[in-house]
């Protein structure tokens, strides 16, 4: 059985954030670029629950890990 694939919209909904395209783009533009020394889950704009979810899903290499990595890349991008 294939692991379910999550979209960035699903991730934002899971984090309790607005999950439409406009809201996601605004969030990314508002919070980037993160410096290379900041781990995504340690960024100051997450609630403790959001940070824990991001950290745990990456550590478990869960099915959310791929889309979390995509968000990480977008937030660390300088362009």
- Return the pLDDT at 79: 67
Is the pLDDT higher at 3 or at 40? 40
HSE of 62, CA atoms in CB hemisphere, 13 A: 12
Q: Please state, in angstroms and as integers, the Cα–Cα distance from residue 32 to each residue in 8, 19, 36, 45, 62, following that order.
A: 16, 18, 11, 11, 25
16 pLDDT above the threshold of 80: yes
- Return the pLDDT at 1: 36
**Mean of all residue pLDDT scores within the chain:** 92
DSSP structural state of residue 1: -
- Quote the CATH superfamily of domain 8-76: Uncharacterised protein PF10982, DUF2789 (1.10.10.1130)
- If one counts every other C-beta atom within 10 angstroms of the C-beta of residue 44, the result is 8
- Return the pLDDT at 35: 92
């Amino acid at each position: 059985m294939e692991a379910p694939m999550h979209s960035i919209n699903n991730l934002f909904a899971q984090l309790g954030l607005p999950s439409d395209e406009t809201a996601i783009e605004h969030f990314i533009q508002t919070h980037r670029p993160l410096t290379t020394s900041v781990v995504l889950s340690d960024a100051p704009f997450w609630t403790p629950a959001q940070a824990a979810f991001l950290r745990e899903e990456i550590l478990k290499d869960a099915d959310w890990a791929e889309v979390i990595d995509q968000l990480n890349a977008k937030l660390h991008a300088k362009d």
